[in-house]
Structure 1
Amino acid sequence: MRPQLTPAQAEAFSRDAVLRHTGRAGADRADPWVPERLSLPFSPDYVVGRGHHRTVQAAVNSAIRDGRTGRVVIGVEPGVHEGLIHVPPLPFPITLAGLGRRPEQTVLKASIDAEMPGAEFATRFEAHVSDAPEAVLSIVRRIAAQDKITTANASVLRIECDGFQLHNLTVRNGYQADRAQDGAHRRNAAGQFTTGQHQAVAVLVDGADRVQLQDVHLRSFQDTLYLQSPTKGTTVRTHLSGCDIEGDVDFIFGQSTAWFDGCTIRSLGTRAPECWVAAPATDIRTRYGFVFHDCDFVHDGSALAQRRQMRLGRQWFEGVRATPYGHPTVAGYRCDLAETSAYTPPLGTISRATLESVGKCVILRSRIGRHIDLTTPWDSWSGRNWGPRYRPALYTAGDMMAQLGGWLARQRIRYDDIDPDMVFLSEFENQWSDPGPSG
């Protein structure tokens, strides 16, 4: 199914409308934001490269220690710069910019994945920030204390600073999906496991607002770009323009609001058996999720792309353990509303936050290659057959209400404030063609 916006509906998805509000979903406030285009050359306050700061993190640390005010510009000289970067909440915004002519000349790189034990994280990364300010050290210590660090801590660049800008460089997570895991046995010719948990984030926007990425290349496989709200149901905004983003499984995902303008979105088919571009987990009362405008959805020329087994996305049913959707195949199965989401067969619970993690994504006036499954570009969550985490694709709020039927009434849940025509997933004036692979 390919749901389409009407022209009147599409007018509500302009850039200025998408980026206009922030705050708690359902009680947000108008805070108009119109990002200005960034341009080289910059006059850096700090430089990373030969004869200057050794790492990007060292330059961030110096800016914090210097007690800077106003916007701070950190320039990064061309080359490959290894190491993690943590930018904590700060009283001043930072612009991090590559000083080469093109984004691919300046690369920020590290190999880190969600299944990494905290002890391994500490061994590999703690020593590199031993002299960092407490604002940075506290983040690193918290991650190192985890049994496994999880997706929320598995990024090359972590942004917690409001007003952060990233320009003219590449961020690459070098993890090659080669960590052995239970249930993952098959490897491809590159030595990568084709299934299992292989989340490896390039950039994590962790609750920061008014974040701007321009002419940035993001490289990984699963979970390349993570756009996270500070708390569930709180709207923060990211603006991306001229970016090149690639991956295979849910590689643009999260809860926050984002506007993608003139970006190249590349699906990779060399590792995973299926590919989904977006996995939004937008709260039902957050006005907008991910909006793509004038973007090119391309592929890598793999066999999977030729079989058209790639999809635009699936709505992340965040935190689900037991589902109220579909027709259960477990004898005696039941799911009820509770404070937390849990499942001890055959009885399960679902929290309000999980239930209302509906996921919103709209694609406007973009070019979509035929590698995307034309008949079902939007997929269900956690498989097409019923399972305890199943949810079908929901195109509007009315679809959600219809699918749940009498379950909402039995749980005494009402959505009188929600318009059944509220758009979750849709398109407008897109061109479906076959531009071929894009390198």
Structure 2
Amino acid sequence: MSIARWITTAATVAVTALASSPAAAAGGPAAGGTAAGGTAAGGTGRPAGLTAPGTVTRPVLSRAEAAPFVPANYFGFSGPYAAPVADPWRPAPIREAPPDFVVGGRGFATVQEAVNAAFRKGGTKRLYIAIRPGTYTGTVFIPAGTPPLTIYGIGNPRLAFTVDAIITPAAWAELVNPGGSRYAQGDPAWDMFQSCATRTSTNAGLCATVVWGQSTDLQLKGLTITNTLLDTVDRGTHQALALRTDADRTQLEEMHLISRQDTFLANANDVERIARVSVRNSYIEGDTDFVFGRAAAVFDHTRFHLVSTRKPSGGVIFAPNTAPLYPYGFLVTHSLITADAGYKAAPTGFLGRAWDQGAGTTGYLPGVTPNGQLVIRNSLIGEGFTTTAPWAPAATTARPFTASIEPGRDLNDVNHNRLWEYANLMQPGATPATTSQGELRTN
């Protein structure tokens, strides 16, 4: 069953269960649910704080407030954050055309070799790389200047590598390029490799990724990308990216991205300019800030799965670091947010937190420090998450989460967080998040 169909089926089952429960029929919370913050005035049994405007720890948008937070607006602008340019992007489903290059079988032995060939072919026409079934070990760097490129899998091939951000840049260089066997001076990705190998920091940082794309109009479909560090380390800070994308108009479909901390970085490499990312019908797994970054990204019909195998409490899914004056960071719509049995037994998971990037020494500076923006709407949230305060203090600064609930509130007030919900459905055993109109939407 496809991920999109699985999500739709799960949502339908949940709606049916909620509608048929005795408590729902009586006008109260769903059977087995607990009201977040008590019941609303008037004794209706509707959870207080789950209708707009919500609470300062769990804000909810009204229908009017939610109206701008749709894919067309997240994808509607390009250029500098300071002066966005109307530039509608309407990503169509990724097409699997006959390949220009093949990896596996009698084709290239590595994905990197095929990427290098595509770069060298050049031009403006879209090129296609097909990857045959199998596991391909090693990093893949897709440099800026590569023609529009589609990399798709046949039979869900797996791209895998083990890399931990805590190693030194020199150790990283030897790990990803042993004896100079993978990247050499003159190769298309040499500059990307060198930018990490020559870092003056004490660790590899965000260079610790399996696949790294810097090219505009990159498409990835039908691949599993795994940073296989996984549970081999303690619950401490071990960034281990599966995928990092830096450029505008990046598309992912039917992808499986698996790691623990920092699984997917939807980045804008130029901190002054907008980068847009579309993720559809995919699966992303991790335990700490495992979907993060500055991009204007829309996640549609995607499952986010929080796991406890390395970090049994306090896990966080989203960590956007949106430019402080730009209104569109991450949008999650028609998706599924789940946690494993460990979190279901002890619900301490967080939906997300802001990433106050660069403010470790100064503290959060309103209007200067990134202020993560995220709306989760029309989605199904499973068990395992804290219900009264599902948003954690900010990364880097530990800035406490707080949202405005004042009438006429400014949704982009730099003095408050910008993490919101709208019209979500809680899995049976929890309570439905409704708008002020009492809607319960699944499509």
So what's the TM-score if we normalise by structure 2?
A: 0.78
Map of 1:156 onto structure 2: 210
Contact 1:371/1:434, CA 8 A, preserved across alignment: no
Map of 2:195 onto structure 1: 142
By percentage of residues, which structure has more strand? 1
Contact 2:333/2:378, CA 8 A, preserved across alignment: yes
Map of 2:235 onto structure 1: 194
Map of 2:337 onto structure 1: 297
Correspondence for 1:218 among 257, 263, 273 = 257
Residues 423 and 7 from structure 1, CA distance in 2 versus in 1: closer, same or farther, beyond 3 angstroms? farther
Aligned equivalents of 1:43, 1:149: Cα separation in 2: 41
Contact 1:297/1:367, CA 8 A, preserved across alignment: yes
Map of 1:251 onto structure 2: 290
Listed one character per residue, the Cα deviations across residues 385-434 of structure 1 (whole Å, up to 9, x for unaligned) are xxx933111435989xx9xxxxxxxxxxxxx9966899811111100115
Aligned equivalents of 1:43, 1:435: Cα separation in 2: 47
Listed one character per residue, the Cα deviations across residues 270-328 of structure 1 (whole Å, up to 9, x for unaligned) are 111320000111112122111000000012222x3321100100111111224557xxx
Listed one character per residue, the Cα deviations across residues 154-213 of structure 1 (whole Å, up to 9, x for unaligned) are 1101010000000011111111354xxxxxxxxxxxxx3122x2000011012x000000
Contact 2:372/2:417, CA 8 A, preserved across alignment: no
Contact 1:82/1:108, CA 8 A, preserved across alignment: yes
State yes or no: 1:57 paired with 2:112.
yes
Correspondence for 2:245 among 191, 196, 205 = 205
Letter in 2 for 1:289: G
Residues 198 and 422 from structure 1, CA distance in 2 versus in 1: closer, same or farther, beyond 3 angstroms? closer
Correspondence for 1:389 among 397, 408, 420 = 397
Write the mapping of 1:31-430 to structure 2, written as runs, cut at 5 A. Answer: 31-40=87-96, 42-90=97-145, 92-100=147-155, 105-126=156-177, 127-131=180-184, 133-146=186-199, 147-176=201-230, 178=232, 192-195=233-236, 197-206=237-246, 208-272=247-311, 273-302=313-342, 304-322=343-361, 355-381=368-394, 389-395=397-403, 424-430=418-424
Contact 1:163/1:211, CA 8 A, preserved across alignment: yes
SS of corresponding position for 2:189: helix
Residues 375 and 88 from structure 1, CA distance in 2 versus in 1: closer, same or farther, beyond 3 angstroms? same
How much does 1:135 deviate? 3.3
Aligned equivalents of 1:58, 1:365: Cα separation in 2: 41
Letter in 2 for 1:284: P
Listed one character per residue, the Cα deviations across residues 341-397 of structure 1 (whole Å, up to 9, x for unaligned) are xxxxxxxxx6x78x4311111001000012111011111125xxxxx9331114359
Map of 1:27 onto structure 2: 83
Contact 1:76/1:106, CA 8 A, preserved across alignment: yes
How much does 1:234 deviate? 2.4
How much does 1:143 deviate? 1.3
Q: Which has the higher contact order (CA 8 A, sep 6+)?
A: 2
How much does 1:51 deviate? 1.0
Contact 2:59/2:420, CA 8 A, preserved across alignment: yes
Contact 1:397/1:420, CA 8 A, preserved across alignment: no
How much does 1:140 deviate? 1.0
How much does 1:3 deviate? 1.0
- Deviating more after overlay: 131-140 vs 47-56: 131-140
SS of corresponding position for 1:65: helix
Residues 287 and 389 from structure 1, CA distance in 2 versus in 1: closer, same or farther, beyond 3 angstroms? closer
- Aligned CA RMSD, in angstroms, stands at 2.7
Aligned equivalents of 1:59, 1:33: Cα separation in 2: 28
Map of 2:74 onto structure 1: 18
- Deviating more after overlay: 316-325 vs 55-64: 316-325
How much does 1:255 deviate? 1.1
Aligned equivalents of 1:57, 1:377: Cα separation in 2: 40
Listed one character per residue, the Cα deviations across residues 58-102 of structure 1 (whole Å, up to 9, x for unaligned) are 0011112233441110000011111100000115111010012xx
Contact 1:216/1:243, CA 8 A, preserved across alignment: yes
How much does 1:247 deviate? 0.2
Contact 2:70/2:331, CA 8 A, preserved across alignment: no
Letter in 1 for 2:78: T
SS of corresponding position for 1:135: coil
Aligned equivalents of 1:250, 1:167: Cα separation in 2: 23
Aligned equivalents of 2:206, 2:150: Cα separation in 1: 23
Aligned equivalents of 1:21, 1:94: Cα separation in 2: 22
Aligned equivalents of 2:317, 2:252: Cα separation in 1: 18
Listed one character per residue, the Cα deviations across residues 78-130 of structure 1 (whole Å, up to 9, x for unaligned) are 11111100000115111010012xxxx31011111211222222222222324
SS of corresponding position for 1:122: helix
Residues 130 and 91 from structure 1, CA distance in 2 versus in 1: closer, same or farther, beyond 3 angstroms? closer
SS of corresponding position for 1:78: coil
Unaligned runs of 5+ in 2: 1-56, 431-443
Contact 1:219/1:247, CA 8 A, preserved across alignment: yes
Residue-pair matches, total = 369
Residues 201 and 397 from structure 1, CA distance in 2 versus in 1: closer, same or farther, beyond 3 angstroms? farther
Residues 107 and 292 from structure 1, CA distance in 2 versus in 1: closer, same or farther, beyond 3 angstroms? same
Residues 311 and 167 from structure 1, CA distance in 2 versus in 1: closer, same or farther, beyond 3 angstroms? same
Contact 2:161/2:227, CA 8 A, preserved across alignment: yes
So what's the TM-score if we normalise by structure 1?
A: 0.78
Contact 2:183/2:193, CA 8 A, preserved across alignment: no
What stretches of structure 1 move > 6 A for 4+ residues in a row? 420-423
Indicate the percent of aligned positions where both proteins have the same amino acid: 30
Aligned equivalents of 2:224, 2:275: Cα separation in 1: 23
